Amino acid sequence: MVRYELAQMNVARLRTPLNSPQLADFVNALDRVNMSVWRDPQSLQAFVYRSDHAGVMRRGREWFEKMDLYLVLWWVPRGLRPTTVEGIERLELLRSRGPSAGAFTFGSLFPAPARQPDFA
């Protein structure tokens, strides 16, 4: 039985206000591309690169300012749904300390923990 799932969060700086006509297509896609939890990295990668999400990513330059770090991944116990606040904390951990078991990217994947992690 899978004991952990992969949490993922993207952040962005918008070029225009969220309610502007320029962001209408992005806003309409938000339910499909919001913070999420996945069975494993392969499932998330399939979604990111081989689903409607790829089209949203291609248009990112229209909607968002360039950011060096906008994605964070981390493992959560199966069934746990992380909050936006936790996602931002994980992103800050990644920015301040670099990739670790508590916050990483596709380029620096860490395996699911063998036991309950303690990242406090």
pLDDT in tens, 67-79: 777 889 999 999 9
* One-letter amino acid of 26: F
Token pair for 30: 């938000």
Query: In the structure encoding, which two tokens stand for residue 46, read together?
Result: 């399939």
Q: Which domains does the chain have, with CATH numbers?
A: 4-108 (3.30.70)
pTM score, whole prediction:
0.78
| CB-CB contact of 5 with 37 (8 Å) | yes
Cβ within 8 Å of residue 107, ≥6 positions away = 99
Question: Which pLDDT value is given to residue 120?
Answer: 47
According to the model, what pLDDT value does residue 13 have? Answer: 85
pLDDT tens digits, residue range 5-55? 999 998 888 889 989 999 888 888 776 657 789 999 999 988 887 777 777
pLDDT of 118 reads 56
Q: From CA 45, how far away is CA 108, in angstroms rounded?
A: 14
pLDDT tens, 83-99? Answer: 989 999 999 999 999 99
Reported residue count of the chain is 120
Concatenated DSSP letters of 16-29:
S-TTSGGGHHHHHH
Task: Compute φ and ψ for 46, nearest 5 degrees.
Answer: -60, -40
Amino acid at 82: P
